Amino acid sequence: MRFISALWCLVVCGGLLTACTAESDDLQQWMAEQRRATKPRVTPIAEPKKYVPLAYSESSSFDPFSSDKLTQALRRETGPANAGAMLVAPELNRRKEPLEAFPLDVMTMVGSLNRAGQRVALVKVDNLLHQVRVGNYLGQNYGRVNKIDENEVVLREIVQDAAGEWIERNTVLQLQEKAQ
């Protein structure tokens, strides 16, 4: 019995191998037909532009290494317009105060009071009340409090203009009375 089952298994495996060989031949034939029928499409590359060297003529152009050119560039950088702008710059090395994380348009001045002879403004941000004194910083444009009145807080902000120069501008945060 064992011999018959082994023989039967051998016959079945041989049949399967024969079927795989026939199927493999069909597959090889189909692949060969597809290779012959397919034409590759290659778009031609544009011809490179011909390099034409320019002749250097010393007398026709300005010497790039002349001291005159360096002097002109230094004058432009340190001219009178830029001299004042160099004096105005934010203090980037100081520790930021908590109210510098918020833009001025979300802050509202809700009152002021005198504390030890010094005026203190009450500023509300995110439903929290903050006490602000002269010298404190407010807003995201390096705004420093210069003056506090009963009705307003005057700030000096340092912002960049369109040319990238730092300029000063005065901003006022006014008292907001609640509508009843």
Backbone phi and psi for residue 58, each to the nearest 5 degrees, phi listed first = -60, -40
**Element of type H or E holding 123:** strand 118-125
Q: What is the rounded distance in angstroms from the CA atom of residue 176 to the CA atom of residue 112?
A: 11
On the question of pLDDT at 84 being above 70, the answer is no
Q: What is the rounded distance in angstroms from the CA atom of residue 156 to the CA atom of residue 161?
A: 15
On the question of pLDDT at 63 being above 60, the answer is yes
- CB burial of residue 129 (10 Å; 0-12, 13-18, 19+): exposed
Whole-number average pLDDT of the chain: 81
Q: Is the pTM of this model over 0.75?
A: no
The two structure tokens encoding residue 38: 């397919």
For residue 61, how far is the Cα from the chain centroid?
A: 40
Q: Which residues pair with 129 in a beta bridge?
A: 124
Find out whether 131 and 157 touch, Cβ atoms under 8 Å.
no
On the question of pLDDT at 51 being above 70, the answer is yes
Name every residue whose Cβ is closer than 8 Å to that of residue 154 and which is 6 or more positions away in sequence: 145, 146, 147, 148, 170, 171, 172
On the question of pLDDT at 180 being above 60, the answer is no
CATH number of the domain located at residue range(s) 98-174 in this protein: 2.30.30.830
Q: What is the rounded distance in angstroms from the CA atom of residue 47 to the CA atom of residue 42?
A: 15
Q: Is 16 helix (H, G, I), strand (E, B) or coil?
A: helix
Q: What is the rounded distance in angstroms from the CA atom of residue 152 to the CA atom of residue 95?
A: 25
The residue ranges of every structural domain in the chain are 98-174
Neighbours of 147 (CB within 10 A): 14
Strands laid side by side in the 143-148 sheet: 137-138, 143-148, 152-160, 166-174
113-157 tens-digit pLDDT: 998 889 999 999 998 999 999 999 999 999 999 999 999 999 999
- Give me the amino acid identity at 57: S
More confident residue, 152 or 16: 152
